[in-house]
Amino acid sequence: MFSYGSYPPGPVRLDEREPEALDTARFGAHPVSADDVVFGDEDGVLFVAAEHAEEVLATAHRIRETEREQARRIVAGETLRRQTAFDDSARRAADPEYTFRRHLRRIGGAIEE
């Protein structure tokens, strides 16, 4: 994963065109070509090797379904704190290796891989 972060002004310089410029583009140190797939939204873009696109889409679908279920339960009155059993995650005091992310994975509330 590579991110320039938010940069509203856009490019501020014009570099020499690289010899492979018509075959690939560079995003930081990473070349992007026709063998890649680009996903984008208002938060940014993600370049993925085409061979991994189905896996990325399946993961995105699982995240979407988890988030929708969490939202449905919030509308029904169940707080996200309760859904994530946040108070149970206090186990970290006894086990510094027990992160909140690990806790969410244990209870099935993780939205990221």
Residue range 4-57, pLDDT digits in tens: 667 777 778 888 888 888 889 888 788 899 999 999 888 888 899 999 999 999
Q: Give the pLDDT of residue 90.
A: 67
Residue range 62-84, pLDDT digits in tens: 889 988 999 999 999 999 888 88
Contact (CB, 8 A) for 79 and 73: no
Give the Cα separation of 9 and 65 in Å (integer). 35
Q: Give the pLDDT of residue 57.
A: 93
Confirm whether pTM is higher than 0.85.
no
Contact (CB, 8 A) for 33 and 22: no
**Residue in 113, 44, 107 with CA at minimum distance from that of residue 81:** 107
Residue range 80-108, pLDDT digits in tens: 888 888 777 667 778 888 888 888 888 87
Q: How far is CA 75 from the centre of its chain?
A: 25
Contacts 24+ apart (CB under 8 A), 61-67: 63/111, 63/112, 63/113, 66/109, 66/110, 66/111, 67/111
Q: Give the pLDDT of residue 103.
A: 83
Confidence of residue 3 (pLDDT cuts 50, 70, 90): low
Q: What is the DSSP letter of 94?
A: T
